[in-house]
Amino acid sequence: MDTICKQSKKLFLAIFSLLFLSFFLSINPVSAQDGEKIFKENCAVCHSMGKETVTGPGLEGVMKRVPSEDWMLKWIKNNDALIKSGDAYAVKINAFATTQMTSFASMPDADIKAVIEYIKNYKPPVIVNNTGGAPGAPVEKEETPMTLIIGVIAFLIIIVGVLRGVRHSLKNLQNEKLGIPEEEKVGAWTEFRNWTRSNKTTTGVVILFIVGGLTSAGWYALKDIGVYADPEQKREYHPEQPIAFSHKIHAGDNAINCQYCHSGVERSKTAGIPTVNVCMNCHRGISKGQSDAGTAEIAKIYEAAGWDPSVAKYNKPQKPIQWVKVHNLQDFVFFSHQQHVKVGKQECATCHGDLTTMTTAKQVQPLTMAWCVDCHRTTEVPGMKDNPYYESLHKKLAEKFKDLPRDQRKFTVDKMGGIECGKCHY
């Protein structure tokens, strides 16, 4: 009887544990980190996390002002419905609003709760000094190759001087033992000149190698003159810009989509350089950067736009920003961003590198003909079910290469004429 009771108890505990585990796993936990990403993708265009007003009010202290978190969830979900329901606080806010807030009716409640959690726990970023370190932190000096070379040469000169002194002392000790007069000490240059006179053949060969090496190095130095990058040699073209726009802060930290600024990337040959008006969409309300240097760069945007932040008006003459072009193909090369991004489904990083880690843009790929051809030979063309033209090409290629091994049946760009001369040069 006791055994039966114990078995029943164990069965009950097992069923209870299973139900509890299922319930726990069914919960989709949200975190402030998820909320930060969702906020930056959907809310940061209109709201700052400080006191500054952008399109909408700043959110500093907002959770202390609203009636409750549940009310906040309803407001974000569908503020228009909350106002029409007669909610007193919603009607009060609407009376002071200059623009209608976007509703997020299709956003899951879990995502909205994550955003609310992020707003509740938000802490302003620590202001750093112009060197990028913490305030008051010592600046680390970067060792350059030239400094290293000079150090090695100085070390070798010291070693040679010490060895010359040792050799001279040993020679005189030997002379003293043999009863020969001491050798007179001469300077390094005199000793070198005497050696070259005594070893003319060796000196000639050394001079020949030095001249040949310098000639070869000079040739390649002249050959490499130009503006291009070489990832193997870790060489990048990184020009200074009139405004130190940080891609890391905008595309990385704040997760702003590249197409927000470069709107022509999916519908034009060129991606386009954003006008200062695009910058002002956000920076009318964001006047402070993450550092004093960042705030100074934002002031340059105001100067270019003719914006006076003290009175919040455009009352100054506009000045065009003279950006320095970074990625520049030859005039005889045809390249279309639309063809590569819209049709080829290529990421910006393929050609431009990981811009989410860069400050001002730099060229990291060589963009030479060889580099493009290699890319066309290895990059597969994505299928496009909604495009009859590409769908038919895929079917024809599948039939054409059906007898090849499976690993060779890749529909790369070169199989579709991607390395024909006329595709890029016409």
Q: What is the pLDDT of residues 16-73, one digit of tens each?
A: 454 444 444 444 444 445 788 888 777 876 777 877 766 678 888 888 888 888 888 8
Same domain, 294 and 380: yes
| CA dist., res. 75 & res. 154, Å (int) | 71
Tens of pLDDT, residue by residue over 320-367, are 999 999 998 888 999 999 999 988 889 999 999 999 999 999 999 989
Q: Give the pLDDT score at 261.
A: 93
Distance CA 372, CA 269 (A): 17
Residue 3 counted as domain residue? no
22 lies in a domain?
no
| 273 and 398 fall within a common domain | yes
CA atoms of 278 and 62, how far apart (whole Å): 27
pLDDT of residue 140: 44
Whether residue 246 is predicted with pLDDT greater than 90 in this model: the reply is yes
Specify which residues 307 forms β-bridges with: 314
| 216 and 348 together in one domain | no
Distance between CA atoms of residues 244 and 401, nearest Å: 50
What's the pLDDT tens digit per position in 121-144? 888 766 444 444 433 444 444 455
Could you give the percent of the chain with pLDDT greater than 70? 81
Same domain, 187 and 310: no
Residue 177 counted as domain residue = yes
pLDDT band at 408 (very low <50, low <70, confident <90, very high): low
178 and 61 in a single domain? The answer is no
Both 223 and 253 in one domain: the answer is no
Q: pLDDT tier at 207 (50, 70, 90 boundaries)?
A: very high
The answer to the question of residue 8 being in a domain is: no
Q: Which amino acid is at 295?
A: T
* 237 contacts 228 by C-beta, under 8 angstroms: yes
Domain count, the chain: 3
The span from the first CA to the last CA of the chain, in angstroms, equals: 93
Q: Is residue 143 part of a domain?
A: no
Question: Quick one: tokens of 354?
Answer: 């990981």
Quick one: 112 and 154 in the same domain?
Answer: no
User: At which of 106, 121, 136 does a domain end?
Assistant: 121
**In Å, what is the CA distance from 406 to each residue of 45, 281, 375, 410?**
48, 51, 20, 8
> Is the pLDDT assigned to residue 394 strictly greater than 80?
no
- Least trusted range by pLDDT, from 238-252, 305-319, 387-401: 387-401
Q: For the residues 186-208, what does the mean pLDDT come to?
A: 86
Is the same domain home to 114 and 168? Answer: no
| pTM of this structure | 0.51
Q: Flag whether 351 is in a domain.
A: yes
pLDDT at 156 over 80: yes
So what's the pLDDT on residue 122? 86
Same domain, 254 and 403: yes
Q: Which domain holds residue 225?
A: 150-230
Q: Are 256 and 24 in contact (CB under 8 A)?
A: no
> Is the Cα dihedral 280, 284, 286, 289 positive or negative?
positive
